[in-house]
């Protein structure tokens, strides 16, 4: 951990690899008058919108929509099976399992043609009181159980005993974006009315606890977190059905799930504060989490150590070293395909555009894990077997 003092505020960083644009955003965060105690930056840090991805920001009595992000509740889930990867015939893997997944789970911007049953949506909310969620109730029945694009993925993986695992990275789809954008604009308007000292160019408008709009955002954020879990759970359920048809006698352990874009009220350093995790994962002592690598590299099941310096947090992945555009413009598709095929990984790279999610666009996951040895303990190392990207 590296400790810096910026604008007379403490910043604790778990890497020496911070791009210039991310460092400027870190500096901006230290100017916030409601920043609590210190700022924590995870080893997968890279620039985001207003706040860097891989940042953990604790505040007194405010929530910042851009410190949560627009894919609210985005996260990981994983399931361990009782099947050995070496026992799966390649034609079964390619034709029955991978094709089956692509047939049943819409990828990228695609949605289900038919609305999914309401039982797959979050329960226990008064939808009439949720402005954005209410007007999107019809749409989200087509979105639940879909992967999305960007860095979202479905992977079949194997552990060091050759046991098959399923891992999914996905979030709240367009619902989270609509909620995030709506309340970010609302917060900006209110901050202007309040003559806030937070400069608009920082892109960090806030909602103050106690105001009506804070409560509105908080409830819609919670719904998005639950919706993202429902989304992952439905995809996992259907993948398990596909595997059960292809691999007779397969069994599944309970699903591990953890989000990495959200805000929560927690107690740290003797105070109840609002902790924003934007591309960061809860690593409270004993909490089981998931830290994925990039396409073609290892992922890790970890257990939190409860380090107070990180507000009990850890990284959410490897972290980008290239923008999507730079990756498309500079990375060699032939080298990427050769690397995946040399490892025997089933993939779907077809064009130069696919380089935006190539391994070369990301930090080395093993370096990231090594940098946070005081935040998590590795339980299981997983290697990719077959990859579906959004």
Which of 111, 142, 152, 316 is the catalytic position?
316
Q: How does DSSP assign 338-371, residue by residue? A: HHHHHTT-B----SGGGGGGSGGGB--HHHHHHH
Sorted by sequence, the CB contacts under 8 Å of residue 37 that are 6+ apart come out as 10, 58, 268, 269, 273
What is the C-alpha separation between 69 and 359, in angstroms, rounded? Answer: 24
User: Which phi and psi (to 5°) does residue 59 adopt?
Assistant: -130, 155
Burial of 173 (0-12, 13-18, 19+ CB in 10 A): buried
How far is 317 from 281, CA to CA, in rounded Å? 9
User: By C-alpha distance, which of 63, 52, 54, 64 is closest to 313?
Assistant: 54
| Alpha-carbon gap, residue 390 to 385, rounded angstroms | 17
Which positions ≥6 away from 202 have C-beta within 8 Å? 28, 31, 50
Here the tokens at position 199 are 């400069």
Residue 276: active-site member: no
The answer to whether 16 and 45 have CB atoms below 8 angstroms apart is no
**Nearest CA among 53, 58, 93 for reference residue 272:** 58
Q: Write the CA distances from 100 to 2, 81, 93, integer angstroms.
A: 47, 18, 10
With a CB cutoff of 8 Å and minimum separation 6, the contacts of 142 are: 111, 112, 113, 114, 115, 116
Q: Is 36 helix (H, G, I), strand (E, B) or coil?
A: strand
Show which residues are catalytic.
316
């Amino acid at each position: 951990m590296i400790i810096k003092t910026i604008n007379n505020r403490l910043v604790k960083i778990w890497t020496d690899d911070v791009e210039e644009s991310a460092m400027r955003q870190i500096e901006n965060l230290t100017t916030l008058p409601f920043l609590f105690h210190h700022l924590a930056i995870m080893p997968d840090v890279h620039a985001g919108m207003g706040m860097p991805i891989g940042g953990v920001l604790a505040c007194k009595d405010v929530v910042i929509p851009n410190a949560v992000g627009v894919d609210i509740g985005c996260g990981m889930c994983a399931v361990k099976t009782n099947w050995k990867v070496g026992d799966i015939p390649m034609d079964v893997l390619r034709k029955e399992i991978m094709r089956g997944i692509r047939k049943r789970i819409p990828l990228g911007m695609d949605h289900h043609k038919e609305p999914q049953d309401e039982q797959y949506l979050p329960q226990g909310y008064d939808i009439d009181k949720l402005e954005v969620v209410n007007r999107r109730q019809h749409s989200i029945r087509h979105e639940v159980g879909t992967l999305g694009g960007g860095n979202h993925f479905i992977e079949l993986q194997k552990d060091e005993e050759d046991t098959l695992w399923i891992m999914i990275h996905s979030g709240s789809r367009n619902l989270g974006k609509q909620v995030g954008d709506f309340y970010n604009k609302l917060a900006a308007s209110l901050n202007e009315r309040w003559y806030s000292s937070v400069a608009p160019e920082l892109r960090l408008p806030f909602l103050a606890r106690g105001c009506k709009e804070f409560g509105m955002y908080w409830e819609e954020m919670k719904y998005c977190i639950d919706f993202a879990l429902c989304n992952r759970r439905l995809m996992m359920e259907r993948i398990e059905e596909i595997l059960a048809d292809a691999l007779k006698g397969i069994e599944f352990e309970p699903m591990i799930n953890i989000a990495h874009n959200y805000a929560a009220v927690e107690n740290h350093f003797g105070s109840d504060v609002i902790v924003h995790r934007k591309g960061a994962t809860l690593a409270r002592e004993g909490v089981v989490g998931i830290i994925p690598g990039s396409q073609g590299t290892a992922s890790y099941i970890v257990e939190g150590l409860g380090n107070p310096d990180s507000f009990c947090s850890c990284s959410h992945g490897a972290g980008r070293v290239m923008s999507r555009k730079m990756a498309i413009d500079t990375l060699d598709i032939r080298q990427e395909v050769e690397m995946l095929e040399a490892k025997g990984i089933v993939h779907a790279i077809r064009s130069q555009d696919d380089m935006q999610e190539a391994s070369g666009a990301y930090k080395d996951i093993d370096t990231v894990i090594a940098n946070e040895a005081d935040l998590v303990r590795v339980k299981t190392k997983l290697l990719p077997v077959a990859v579906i990207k959004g």
